[in-house]
Amino acid sequence: MSLLAGVLPLIILIAAIWFLFIRGMRGAGGGPGGMLGSFGKSKHRLSTKETVSVTFADVAGIDEAKDEVHEIVEFLKSPEKFARLGGRIPRGVLLAGPPGCGKTLLAKAIAGEADVPFFSISGSDFVEMFVGVGASRVRDLFKQAKESSPCIIFLDEIDAVGRKRGSGFSSGGHDEREQTLNAILVEMDGFEMQDQVIVIAATNRSDVLDPALTRPGRFDRTVQVMLPDIEGRRQILGVHAGKVRMSPDVDMERVARGTPMFSGAELAALINEAAIIATLSGKEFVELQDLEEARDKIRYGRARRSRRIEEQEREATAYHEAGHTVIQWLLEDADPVHKVTIIPRGQAMGATFSLPEKDRYGYGRKYIEATLRVLCGGRIAEQRHTSDISSGASMDIRMATDFSRAMVLEWGMSDRLGFVKYSPDEQRESLLAGQEYSDDTARIIDEEIKRLVDHAYAEAQRILDENWDKVEAVAQALLRHETLNSDDIETLMKGGQIDRPTVADMLRAEMEAPKPQESPNAPTAEDEGDLPDDGALPSPA
């Protein structure tokens, strides 16, 4: 009897496991995935014109990319047009570019324009802890897509499963990710001529993809979806501005100029954030001031107006930013100054903002040297006023060093080293790759980097010494007003005075303003005993 009592729990456990095993086998239906059951089913999301209605009209700022994918729409609409001359449309299209630039939106727009089903799935959705699940999901996805032909399969973040095989410390062909990649390659090779299925993949790391994935016959068409230029940003801002109540006098061209390197997603967030700011301020329309505040918040963080700052530190920040501002204003090769502030934002105690007149796709030597002098100006002005130095210039030091290092290592702007590239190759796979130049060359590189920074520092010091009266004017104005726009800076640089209330004036006016009269029906101290225990006012009878 005691033996039966000891064995009975084990028998029950084995029976339960066997029951679950048989149930899983039946759930799988004998199809792909076997005992894995529902694990082998694809996790894709299916969209049709009834659920998602995105067209090329909703995509702005990436006109070149739209032009490149027009032929995909034509193929899905009229495949016989291409078959007449024996041409073969690319079966796979790779959308490559930084995050937030509209790759997913463009893929949906292709499906919307062609009016075909849209199967979308992320690369990470293929991989689970069980070996073989990813490959099973790939087969299930392509099977359903062929049954719904013509259609589009969209593989987002394909680099999650499409990385180069044999690199790093993976376990070779038995690795789950590599099995999933092999399944994708096999399925793309298995398309018949009559299969009107287009596979679109998106990635921001096209450099790490396996060559077998990007060879002709698979993803043989790569469309670059890059960050928008000024005109592209203006178009994107216009699309999203149409969804909010925008003030008619807002200059979108100015906003576009002030948002270099913003992606489409960041521009959409900017408009939404500006609408929130305007709403909280009780405005009827979104104004330029709200857009600029939203831009600064997205790029640098929320303004910390309530932070208590010692007057000595506040003065040091004002002179630091004044040093940047004066040099940037005086140098023709630097970007125009947009505004300067000593209101803490994010990790920064203050900031000087530029407003580039055009997008830069490369840096000229004169522009870099001017930028180096601007970066050095903050520390120099702060040290001259306080007779001390602080850690506030840490970001300036880092940027100046990075610019100088790039000039020497990558851009061939060193007279001693000449037209030679010394920076390591980012695409080298060896983890043990050593230095590619001698110790003597390394010493010269260090000397050249320091020489460039030292020369910029000396030039910045000369400029500020000759224009210290302008530094004093800007710094004192910052202490009074906290933020100066480009018109204020121009007035100060020409020897004028700013004619508007200071921060102290506004605080004084706010304190002296009459307080609102209390309602005669408001409960008095004597009435507090009549309040309910939870502190709420009694309901009206």
Active-site residue, from 321, 382, 448, 459 = 321
Cβ-contact 421, 410 below 8 angstroms: yes
Of 221, 528, 464, give the one whose Cα is nearest residue 328. 464
How far apart, in Å, are the Cα atoms of 43 and each of 38, 203, 422, 433, 449? Answer: 10, 19, 46, 40, 52
> And the tokens for 243?
């969804």
Cβ-Cβ contacts under 8 Å for 455 (sequence gap 6 or more): none
321 is catalytic: yes
The interaxial angle of helices 486-493 and 468-481, nearest 10 deg, is 140
- Residue in 311, 295, 315 with CA at minimum distance from that of residue 303: 295
Residues 6+ apart with CB under 8 A from 191: 91, 197
The residues pairing with 92 across neighbouring beta strands, listed in sequence order, are: 199
Rounded Cα distance, 406 and 413, in Å: 9
Separation between Cα atoms, residue 306 and residue 78, nearest integer Å? 62
Q: Token pair for residue 6? A: 């000891």
Q: Are 271 and 244 in contact (CB under 8 A)?
A: yes
The alpha carbon of 405 is separated from its chain's Cα centroid by a whole number of angstroms, namely 25
Count of all residues that appear for the chain in the document: 541
CA atoms within 13 A on the CB side of 460: 34
The edge-to-edge listing of strands for the beta sheet with 151-156 is 45-47, 118-122, 151-156, 197-203, 92-96, 221-224
Say if residue 10 is exposed, middle or buried (CB neighbours under 10 Å; 0-12, 13-18, 19+). exposed
Contacts by 50-56, CB closer than 8 A, 24 or more apart: 52/108, 52/111, 52/112, 52/118, 53/112, 54/105, 54/108, 54/109, 54/111, 54/112, 55/109, 55/112, 55/113, 56/109, 56/113
Burial status of residue 514 (CB atoms within 10 A of its CB: 0-12, 13-18, 19 or more): exposed
Q: Where are the alpha helices (DSSP H) in 417-518?
A: 439-466, 468-481, 486-493, 503-512
Enter the tokens of residue 474: 């800007």
Query: How many CB atoms are closer than 10 A to CB 416?
Result: 10
How many DSSP H helices and E strands does the chain contain? Answer: 18, 9
Q: How many degrees, rounded to 5, is the angle at CA 177 between CA 172 and CA 181?
A: 95
- Which residues are known catalytic residues? 321
